[in-house]
Amino acid sequence: MTGFVVTGTDTDVGKTVFAAGLTALLDGWYWKPVQAGLSDGTDAGRVAALSGLSQERILPEAYRLTTPCSPHRAAEIDEVEVTREHLALPPQRPLVVEGAGGALVPVTPDWLMADLFAEWGLPAIVVARTALGTINHSLMTIEVLRARGVPVHGVAFIGDAVPDSEQTICRIGAVRHLGRLPVLPQLDAKTLRQAFVRAFDKSAFS
């Protein structure tokens, strides 16, 4: 196992929390290649706090953009040119890479997150809510990734148990159910680590 790309069915689905838990579980390295929006803190900062790992395990972003919007637009506002060369994967392993938003979020005006995932070649984990609408969003994300040749490692669910939706996604999408992380009333490094170990089997990520 060399690492995973973590993507979500949409924004604020819980992929940063999942990425923090996974990085800690694997005793790995975390990388958020493009951070768009700085005023409320960064995803790397949240992962550092929630993973309990040393700061050296949280790799610096390739791009830190000011505005919380699609990376292509945030880069335009900051007058920054995003290049493929600057988004090469770091050498550290195991590596957990968190995408920005969903699979079809533009990194540049004509280059999407899913295109970047395909270039990297790492297996993708789709983080999905269990709430209403998840079947459609999850299946579309799975299809988008596969259409670009991105291997889908499985789906990790966030929220209350909704067995029919979870099973339907995994059956129709022909994808592995990796586990489900409930919404935690108190979220910190200790509670996340405990919940993550209960929710996910480490062998599923080997």
> What is the rounded distance in angstroms from the CA atom of residue 114 to the CA atom of residue 141?
9
- Every domain of the chain and the residues it spans: 3-205
Rounded distance between C-alpha atoms, residue 61 and residue 125, angstroms: 20
Specify the pLDDT at position 102.
95
d(CA 202, CA 113): 26
Q: Is 190 a catalytic residue?
A: no
Confidence grade of residue 1 (pLDDT, cut at 50, 70, 90): low
Residue-level pLDDT at 94: 98
Domain 3-205, architecture per CATH: 3-Layer(aba) Sandwich (3.40)
In percent, the amount of the chain with pLDDT more than 70 equals 100
Q: Within a 10 A sphere around the Cβ of 132, how many other Cβ atoms?
A: 9
CA distance 204 to 89: 23
Per the residue annotation, which of 15, 32, 190, 202 is the catalytic one? 32
Task: Answer yes or no: are the C-beta atoms of 193 and 53 closer than 8 Å.
Answer: no
User: Which one, of 89, 13, 122, lies nearest residue 114 by Cα?
Assistant: 122
Q: So what's the pLDDT on residue 206?
A: 87
Other CB atoms within 10 A of residue 47 CB: 25
The model's pTM: 0.97
Question: How many Cα atoms sit within 13 Å of 102 on the Cβ side?
Answer: 15
Q: What is the mean pLDDT of the chain?
A: 97
- Residues for the chain: how many in total? 206
